[in-house]
Amino acid sequence: MIRKMFKRFVFTEEERTRLSIGADARLHPREHTLLLKAGANGSYPTDDDIQIATWLSVPASVKKWLLFEALASTPSGTSLGYRLSDNGVDPLYWDGGSWRAPVGSEWNTEAEVNAGIESFPVSNKGVQIIINLKTTSVAVTPTVNEVRLAYDSDVFQQEDYVRSLIRLIKAEVRPVADYMIPASGPTTEVDLNAIETTYNITAADSAFDHTSDPDHQTDILGGYDPSTKIVTLSSPVADGDTILVRFKYVPEVALTTSQDYTELSKVPVVIVEDVRAGKKHRFFRQMVLDRGANSGLVWDDLYQVDLDVPLRFVTDKAVDQQRLADELKAMFANNVFLVSLATDERYRLWLIDEYDQLTFPSQSELHSGRIRARVAKALFSPLDARPVTGVTKVTIAGGNLELEAP
């Protein structure tokens, strides 16, 4: 299902680190605008090549770019130019027939970008805006408050938030598990294929001769071959000594609401049990307008809601359950935003219930615990955008209001 979505580049202080700001340009920390940087005498630079580049945004659901709008001010003697990039490296210029590398001082106007925006490539899914700020007068500067784009998308919003959280867990959570085995003869190898639990092992962390070094002071890990799952020890372990190997793994991550999901063939696993929506809050109307054509799109019925997501984790060993809980909590501590895969928008991510442990194993000898995450102010657009026509003239005569459109 294709629907229209919007992309906003807003220039708040929070986004400063994601901007590439030229030496003679600046981000105003209170007014949240991009502008030229005044010198010590208050004069603005009149160079031709002063630039600010946004971050590369990669909404994976984009099918076609539709509209481009810059909320900006260009006093007399100032101007703004634009280039776009689909990979964050190569700037592109619309020459009236195709997007190509710019030559020299080629920059597009907002109207020219709109003329070619539907042809902007989507193979990389990305868009970055490079802005050229110019003035011929040292007394004035152009300013840019925000850049907006509209695009065709096949996003399913609630599913997207859950899938994005699953992706984050898979990318970030790497618990450490233990494998202990008695040495059979002096040996320098341990075969992790013999482990009964279905770990998806990514790397060996350490190894110890547990018998002669019970405090685990000397790490004897020599190497690990992920293709064979063979751990090589840097020194041989005597016959009968217990070898302890610690390794990192990726837990299975599943989406289900079934209470029978404890009957699992693969553990350890993190289960997204359900999604619980909190109170809705209306979000202000959004619009992207092609001012040259006086036409655009508006999104009316937007709202935000907090999504609470319980995460249940199941292991067949109690120690694995504890360590998996620690890794999940560390993931939330290190990731204050959930990044939507479909729209590449960021939402605050909180851990609101740190840890609930089910102390006794289930009948299947599985241990489980639960934490609860919150995606704050997740944005929803239940209705598709509707087309609008820009007003070019407002006339009030004799108490009558008249709006003139093209």
Task: Give residue 263's pLDDT.
Answer: 44
Task: Give residue 360's pLDDT.
Answer: 55
Which two three-digit tokens encode residue 156? 């399913």
Which two three-digit tokens encode residue 155? 């996003």
Of 387, 307, 320, the residue nearest 347 (C-alpha): 307
Beta pairing, strands 51-53 & 78-85: unpaired
Is residue 397 assigned to a domain? no
Domain match, 238 and 145 both = no
Task: Give residue 354's pLDDT.
Answer: 83
DSSP H helices in 220-334: 318-334
Is residue 405 assigned to a domain? no
DSSP 17: G
Domain match, 188 and 77 both = no
Of 274, 268, 300, the residue nearest 388 (C-alpha): 300
Domain CATH code at residue 355: 3.30.2000.10
Domain match, 166 and 314 both = yes
Is residue 394 assigned to a domain? no
Is residue 349 assigned to a domain? yes
Domain match, 243 and 371 both = no
Residue 95, helix vs strand vs coil: coil
Select from 217, 250, 283 the last residue of a domain. 250
Residue 65, helix vs strand vs coil: strand
Select from 250, 276, 310 the last residue of a domain. 250
Task: Give residue 274's pLDDT.
Answer: 81
Is residue 403 assigned to a domain? no
pLDDT in tens, 95-138: 999 999 999 999 999 999 999 999 999 999 999 999 999 999 99
Cis peptide before 268 (omega within 30 of 0): yes
What burial letters (b/e) apply to 207-225, b meaning 16+ CB within 10 Å? bbbbeeeeeeeeebbeebe
Of 90, 25, 85, 98, the residue nearest 54 (C-alpha): 85
Is residue 241 assigned to a domain? yes
Task: Give residue 367's pLDDT.
Answer: 86
Select from 86, 119, 153 the last residue of a domain. 153
Is residue 275 assigned to a domain? yes
The H or E element containing residue 164 is helix 157-172
DSSP 13: G
Domain match, 246 and 258 both = no
Domain match, 263 and 344 both = yes
Beta pairing, strands 252-255 & 269-272: parallel
Domain match, 263 and 213 both = no
Residue 367, helix vs strand vs coil: strand
User: What is the rounded CA–CA span in Å between residue 110 and residue 144?
Assistant: 12
Domain match, 190 and 240 both = yes
**363 CB-near residues (< 8 Å, 6+ apart):** none
Number of domains in the chain: 3
Q: How far is CA 50 from CA 42, 82, 101, 300, in A?
A: 17, 12, 18, 37
Domain range enclosing 121:
3-153
User: What is the rounded CA–CA span in Å between residue 33 and residue 25?
Assistant: 11
Q: How far is CA 136 from CA 22, 34, 139, in A?
A: 18, 17, 9
Domain match, 164 and 50 both = no
Domain match, 219 and 289 both = no
**Would you write out the chain's pLDDT as a tens digit for each of its 406 residues?**
899 999 999 999 999 999 999 999 999 999 999 999 999 899 999 999 999 999 999 999 999 999 999 999 999 999 999 999 999 999 999 999 999 999 999 999 999 999 999 999 999 999 999 999 999 999 999 999 999 999 999 999 989 999 999 999 999 999 999 999 999 889 999 999 999 998 999 999 999 999 999 999 999 999 999 999 999 999 999 999 999 999 999 999 988 754 444 445 678 999 888 888 988 999 999 999 999 899 999 999 999 999 999 998 889 898 999 999 999 999 999 988 999 999 999 999 999 988 776 655 555 678 888 999 999 999 999 999 999 998 767 677 766 666 566 5
Domain CATH code at residue 88: 2.60.120
The H or E element containing residue 159 is helix 157-172
Is residue 189 assigned to a domain? yes
Domain match, 74 and 94 both = yes
User: What is the rounded CA–CA span in Å between residue 117 and residue 207?
Assistant: 56
Domain match, 8 and 137 both = yes
Instruction: Report whether 294 contacts 389 (CB < 8 A).
Output: yes
Task: Give residue 261's pLDDT.
Answer: 42
